[in-house]
Every structure is written in structure tokens, then in C-alpha cells.
């Protein structure tokens, strides 16, 4: 039984070696998509914060009463 198992393992080595580039590429592509999604989310958050701060500073520059009422 061990001989058969060993021979099966030997036969599967070439298959694994041939499929490695494909598997590696799929994993790399998945990682790149996840990284791109995370970067996009950070950019959106950054833009939201910039817009909020710009609006806040405009209101503050317009006068303390206006900033307080709009707050």
C-alpha cells in the first residue's frame, strides 16, 4: 500500500509543477484586486474628509455664528 501511495505521489509531481504558474498567477491577481479595492476605499475616504474640512473651513471663515448654526 505504501508503494502505491508513493507512486501516486510521484505521478502527481509533474501535474503540480505544471499547474503551479497558473495557481500562482490566480493568487497574485486576487491579491492585486484586493489591494486595488482597499486603495480605492482609502481614496474615497480621503476625498470625503477633504470635502468635509473644506466645507467646515468655509463656514468657519464666513463667521463664527454661521459655523455654529450650520454645525
DSSP letters spanning 18-42: HHHHHHHHHHHHHHHHHHHHHHHHH
- With beta carbons less than 8 A apart as the criterion, state whether 58 and 50 touch: no
Q: Is the pTM of this model over 0.95?
A: no
Query: Residue 58 in contact with residue 51, Cβ under 8 Å?
Result: no
Report the pLDDT value the prediction gives residue 23, as an integer from 0 to 100.
92
First-to-last C-alpha distance (Å) of the chain: 77
Question: What range defines the domain where residue 28 resides?
Answer: 2-70
* pLDDT for position 8: 76
Could you read off the pLDDT tens digit of each residue along the chain, which spans 71 residues? 455 687 777 777 788 788 889 999 999 999 999 999 999 999 999 999 999 999 999 999 998 665 555 55
Number of domains in the chain: 1
pLDDT at 9: 74
Residues 56 and 67 sit within 8 Å (Cβ to Cβ): yes
Amino acid at each position: 500500500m505504501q508503494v502505491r501511495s508513493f507512486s501516486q505521489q510521484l505521478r502527481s509531481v509533474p501535474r503540480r509543477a505544471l499547474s503551479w504558474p497558473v495557481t500562482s498567477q490566480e493568487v497574485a491577481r486576487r491579491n492585486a484586486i484586493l489591494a486595488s479595492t482597499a486603495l480605492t476605499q482609502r481614496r474615497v475616504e480621503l476625498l470625503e474628509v477633504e470635502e468635509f474640512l473644506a466645507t467646515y473651513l468655509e463656514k468657519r471663515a464666513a463667521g463664527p455664528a454661521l459655523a455654529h448654526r450650520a454645525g
